[in-house]
Amino acid sequence: MQSAVDPSATHAQPLPGPPGLPIVGSIPDLVRKGRFAFILESWRRYGDIFSIPLIRLPVVDQSPWLSHVLAREHAPKELIVTCHPEAADQILRRRSDNYPKGRGYDAVRVLMGDGLVTATGESWRRERRLLQPAFRRPAIRDFLPTMERCTADMLATWERRYASGHAFDVYGEMMDLARRIIGLTMFGTDLGPSSSESAQAITVALEGMGRRMEGTVALPLSIPTPANRRFQRAIDLLNQIVFDIIGRARDGRLDSDEPNILQAMLAARDEESGAPMSDRQIRDEVITLYIAGHETTALTLTWSLDYLARYPEVRERVEAEIAATVRDSEAPTLEELDRMTYTRMVIDEVLRLRPPAWALAREAVAEDELLGRRIPAGAVVMFNIYAIHRHPASWEGDPDASDPDRFLPAKVEARHRGAHIPFIVGPRACIGKIFSIYETLLALARLLARYRFEPVDPAPIPFTAVATLRPSGPVMMRIRPR
């Protein structure tokens, strides 16, 4: 990957965008309208690449403490946004060395440490090498019985509680299912339901991290605001739980017959130095994979069930495919799940319309050019996945309309490789992609073979865009036995 300056960059055109106000830039609009809505509005007004002015406070340079409070050290003077698949592919794949993760990930690092999401350079390459085997097909084959058992346990509970027609929160149930699966496959132990201490700590920590990612003002954790105290308590509790599990696993006191990723981490050795992973390295990876591995899959399952409930002709094709490909008597095999090709197309369409991560950002090392516009060195560049998934250059007809046939193999082959990036592309593509896809396929195979889902409210589900696109409240549904 080349990271040298593009020779044409110095001749590129300046960026369009909202003019903003003196000192505060476009921050009032970002706060009033919300970051998600304002960026989409700017896309429609200014095109596929534009600049949003942020805080402009040169006087703050004289005050290091005030500079930190105003996130001066962490937030740039402008945010460059692109909504085009070509630009996303350049950032993520063709010139990825020029666009590492930068200052914007400091808010994530507070919780996740130097795990795969936040690590850079040789540190990231080493961690990726150590962890990659745990996410390949042979390892996932070993995890399928755990996924099957967790799903069967949930269905048994549903039979007692909801099969008579009581409405329940599908999003909450999918969070519990994904949390249990990732807990067992990660640690070999069940961390408990949503009411448990660990789950509540994860919820508080995610909310705290989301506020720091969303906000312009980022008060240091050392300033004891109520929100900071809650956030720090949650991090401390998670550290206590995770370090205790790591210690018990090292000493052979973790009583589990489950194949799990923690054991693979403990056994891993760096291929160059031969050194094992430290407890801190394992902690950072465990927290990273746990957080990244349960909410995103739970969201995909929730949006998929809602989608299928609203499109009966699609649901019937999925039900027929499940009946023809997956045995009901024992855990599905990878080969059976591979034959659920139409269901996979439905999942891909759901991920297009509701990508779990709606936008991500990178920081330019050297001056570059994107879509004929100059990108200065040090610029923070956001690629808006939600908008890219609706770009008319890539999606025929009405990009907002739903159609799983968009993912027929011939159409996928003809489409720009940057057009559909729910797991991103390039060297930093999500390590857990196939884990998540097989988990989703297995869960849908079992749920849809047993029940039909009916939304309590026919209106579209409102969503909130923070780090992820999540429902704004409970997703209430009823199930009817088939």
- Measured between alpha carbons, how far is 467 from 356 in angstroms, rounded to an integer? 8
pLDDT the model gives residue 277:
87
Going by C-alpha positions, the residue among 322, 319, 181, 191 that lies closest to residue 244 is 191
pLDDT the model gives residue 316:
98
pLDDT the model gives residue 67:
41
Calculate Rg over the CA atoms of the chain.
23
- Measured between alpha carbons, how far is 137 from 117 in angstroms, rounded to an integer? 22
Residue 2 lies in a domain: no
- Percent of the chain predicted with pLDDT > 70: 90
- Measured between alpha carbons, how far is 424 from 88 in angstroms, rounded to an integer? 9
Mean per-residue pLDDT for 133-145? 92
Q: What's the predicted TM-score (pTM) here?
A: 0.90
Take residue 260 and report the two structure tokens written for it: 């799990």
Mean per-residue pLDDT for 114-142? 88
Residue 4 lies in a domain: no
Convert the pLDDT of each residue in 347-399 to its tens digit.
999 999 999 999 999 999 999 999 999 999 999 999 999 999 999 999 999 99
- Measured between alpha carbons, how far is 308 from 96 in angstroms, rounded to an integer? 37
Mean per-residue pLDDT for 473-480? 97
Tokens 């009032």 belong to 28
pLDDT the model gives residue 66:
39
Please, are residues 65 and 92 in contact by the beta-carbon 8 Å criterion?
no
- Measured between alpha carbons, how far is 323 from 250 in angstroms, rounded to an integer? 44
Please, are residues 51 and 16 in contact by the beta-carbon 8 Å criterion?
yes
CATH number at residue 154: 1.10.630.10
Tokens 């994904």 belong to 178
Q: How far apart are the first and last CA of the chain?
A: 53
Tokens 């490789």 belong to 417
Convert the pLDDT of each residue in 144-169 to its tens digit.
999 999 999 999 999 999 988 999 99
**What confidence tier does 45 reach under pLDDT thresholds 50, 70, 90?**
very high
pLDDT the model gives residue 215:
58
Q: What is the mean pLDDT of the chain?
A: 88
pLDDT the model gives residue 269:
84
Convert the pLDDT of each residue in 50-95 to its tens digit.
999 987 554 434 344 334 444 444 557 899 999 999 999 999 999 9
- Residue ranges in 259-389 assigned as alpha helix (H): 261-267, 279-310, 312-325, 334-338, 341-353, 385-388
Convert the pLDDT of each residue in 312-342 to its tens digit.
999 999 999 999 999 887 789 999 999 999 9
Phi then psi dihedrals of residue 93, to 5 deg: -125, -60
Residue 138 lies in a domain: yes
* DSSP strands (E only) in 92-235: 168-169
Handedness of CA 466, 114, 431, 172 (dihedral sign): negative
- Measured between alpha carbons, how far is 413 from 99 in angstroms, rounded to an integer? 26
Take residue 327 and report the two structure tokens written for it: 């045995």
Which comes out higher in pLDDT, residue 301 or 290? 301
Residues 6+ apart with CB under 8 A from 340: 321, 322, 325, 326, 441, 445
Looking at the 3D structure of the chain, how many domains does it have?
1
Residue 53 lies in a domain: yes
Which comes out higher in pLDDT, residue 2 or 246? 246
**What confidence tier does 196 reach under pLDDT thresholds 50, 70, 90?**
confident
Residue 3 lies in a domain: no
Domain region containing 321: 9-481
Residue 217 pLDDT greater than 60, yes or no: no
